[in-house]
Structures are given as structure tokens and as C-alpha cells.
Amino acid sequence: MDTTQILLNIIITITTIFLVIIGIQLILLIRDLRKVLGNVNKITSSLEKLGLSARANMQEVIGFISSIKLILKLLKHTNKDKK
């Protein structure tokens, strides 16, 4: 073989090795990214549940306060009628 062919074979082999290494690193990176996105998904679903429960609790508090207002109005009207 001629020196040019030997040099080309060496360059092609080195390039192939580098591309294989880069491919493996990309696969590992994508795998880690998938795990991170799974964790982010869990966090967002937990926050969504928390927000929904807080909203329901606020509606209960608002209902309780309006009930107290209604009771106070009724008491006020009954006191007026007595006088």
C-alpha cells in the first residue's frame, strides 16, 4: 500500500472512533435528559394537585365566610323586628 492510502485509512479509523464516542455520549445525554424530564413532570403534577387543593380550600373558606355574613344579617333583622 502506498503511504497516501495508509494515511487515509488511519484518518478514517480515527474519525470513526471519534464519531462512535460522540454517539455514545449523545445516547447517555438523552437518557439523562429523559430522567430529568420525568422528574420535572412529577414536580409539575404535584404543584398542580397542590394548586387545585388550595383552590378548593379557598372556596370552602369563602363559603364559610358568606354563611357567617348571612347569619349576621339574619340576626340583625331579627333584632330590628324585636325593637
Per-residue pLDDT of the chain (83 residues; tens, 9 = 90+): 799 999 999 999 999 999 999 999 999 999 999 999 999 999 988 888 887 787 777 888 888 888 888 888 888 878 776 65
Give the integer Cα–Cα distance in Å for 67 and 78: 17
Taking 3-state DSSP, the helix, strand and coil percentages for the chain, each rounded to the nearest 5, stand at 95, 0, 5
- The per-residue pLDDT for 19 is 98
Residue 44 to residue 52: CA distance in whole angstroms: 12
- Separation of first and last alpha carbons in the chain: 121
Strand runs (DSSP E) across the chain, as ranges?
A: none
φ and ψ at 2, to 5 degrees?
Answer: -85, 155
